[in-house]
Amino acid sequence: MSPTALAAPSGSGCVPVGCGLSMFDPIYLGIDEFGHPVYETLAYKNLLTGGEPGSGKSTLLTAIAAHGALADDCRLVLFDAKQVELGPWRDVADEFVDNDIAAAIVLLRRLQRVLDNRYTWLLAQRRRKITRLDDLAVYLVMVDELAAYTTTYGTKQQQEEFAVLLRDLVARGRACGIIVVAATQRPSGADSPPIIPASLRDLFAYRAAFRCTTDDSSDLILGRGWASKGHTAASISPENPGVGLLLAEGGMPYLFKPPFMTDPQIHNLVDHVAWTRGVNTTAVHTKPAATPTKALEVVAA
């Protein structure tokens, strides 16, 4: 669903002004265990987050999506098989895909075309990457529950194509303003097919590991060897959700806790963004079908 322009509400008496944020600005990701604020710049980077259900991955995604929504130069492209985690942002997103893997593949192909075109443009400019002065939109591609698209829904060919396209975006998208933020519950590489192929997982520069059940799961997110050095998400208390290990600039994982936004806060923020961006939010949502979905049809095949 693409948003359409809408005239400013009459009688409001004021002109909406954006916050002036940019995706090239540092993003507030919470606090570390020493009480210091955590700011990381996601421009030219990609982020992978993983952890057991309820560990706080979506809190981090919400914090990043909030910054992206408020940023003047950012466009949200959301993939959410569960529909509710990133669903509040669909009204201000350029594209939103739920559990329809065919639509997800089409969208990834479009992004890949944008990527190729931007590199051609950069080549003509004799440059290697875009900057904030280029006035080009930065696409924040957020995928919640990556496993849904790589192992659950669709045929094997579709799942492989999704993984290949996403890998291409992660590998080549940084310099031309396509940032990929992916979340998964179980980043195991031993499954067949793997939920996140190692070739895709290793391309993420930033990693955030929330509560995991084993040291191996933590190492699969952060990278091999960190658990043996004392940095393991398995040591995070299950009674303290929202705490994770962030591996970003600095090269060492450290404990942090992303900011939490309540549902009313999220909707107030989306209201503001929709107002400033002038998007049409009168979308019609189709109720879930009573017949078995595509995923069930695949299993029955």
Partner 1 sequence: MSKSRWFSGLRRRTADVNVIDPGLRRSVRRRAGIALFVVGVPVWLIAAMVAAAHMHVILALLLGVLVGAVAGFLVAAVVFVWPVVRVIWHWFPEITLAASLVLSLDMLARVIPGPFAILALAVVVGGPLGVPYTRRHLLAWAWCVISRHRLRVCFNGFLQGNRDGSLPLILIARPTPVGERVWVWLRPGLSLSDLQDRTEQIAVGCWANEVTVHKASDKYAALLRFDIKRRNTLTVTVQSPLVDVIPGDAPGRPGPVVDGDVTALNLVDVPAASVTESEPVKPAKNGKPAAPAPVKPAREPVAVGVDGDDVSDWI
- Residues numbered 247 to 276 that lie near partner 1 (CB under 8 A) are 252, 255-261, 265, 267-272, 274-276
- Compare residues 116 and 191 and give the one whose CB is closer to partner 1: 191
Closest to partner 1 by CB, 91 or 115: 91
Q: Check residue 211 for interaction with partner 1 (CB under 8 A).
A: no
Q: Is 2 in the site for partner 1 (CB under 8 A)?
A: no
Least gap, CB of 206 to partner 1 (angstroms): 19
List the one residue from 5, 7, 124, 300 that touches partner 1 (CB under 8 A). Answer: 300
CA 55/CA 244 separation, integer angstroms = 8
Residues 64, 166, 233, 240, CA torsion sign = positive
Instruction: Compute the least distance from the CB of residue 145 to partner 1, in Å.
Output: 6
Per-residue binding letters, 98-137, with partner 1 (x by CB under 8 A): ----------------------------------------
Please tell me the distance from the alpha carbon of residue 301 to that of residue 297, in angstroms, as a whole number.
6
CB of 131 to partner 1, least distance (A): 24
When binding is defined by CB under 8 A, the residue of 130, 145, 207, 212 that contacts partner 1 is 145
The interface region with partner 1, picked from 61-69, 107-115, 125-133, 168-176 by CB under 8 A, is: 61-69
Our finding on whether 201 is near partner 1 (CB under 8 A) is no
**35 is an interface residue for partner 1 by CB under 8 A:** yes
**Rule CB under 8 A: which of 171-190 touch partner 1?**
184-186
Report the alpha-carbon distance of residue 128 to residue 132 in Å, rounded: 14
Q: How far is the CB of 249 from partner 1 (least distance, A)?
A: 14
Return d(Cα 13, Cα 125) in angstroms, integer. Answer: 43
Please state the closest distance from residue 114 (CB atom) to partner 1, in A.
27
To the nearest whole angstrom, how small is the minimum distance from the Cβ of residue 186 to partner 1?
5
| DSSP tag of 21 | B
Give which of 94, 91, 95 is closest to 271, Cα–Cα: 91
If you write DSSP's letter for every residue of 158-208 in order, what string do you get? HHHHHHHHHHHHHHHSGGGTEEEEEEES---SSSSS-SS-HHHHTT-SEEE
Q: Is the dihedral of CA 255, 251, 196, 217 positive or negative?
A: negative
Do the bridges between strand 206-210 and strand 27-32 make them parallel or antiparallel, or are there none, so unpaired? unpaired
Binding mask 62-101 for partner 1 (x = CB under 8 A): -x--xx--x--------------------x----------
CB atoms within 10 A of CB 46: 21
**Strands annotated E in 21-137:** 27-32, 37-40, 47-50, 74-80, 95-97
In terms of Cα–Cα distance, which of 188, 233, 293, 278 is closest to 8?
Answer: 278
Whole-angstrom distance, CA of residue 294 vs CA of residue 261: 33
Using rule CB under 8 A, residue 283 touches partner 1: yes
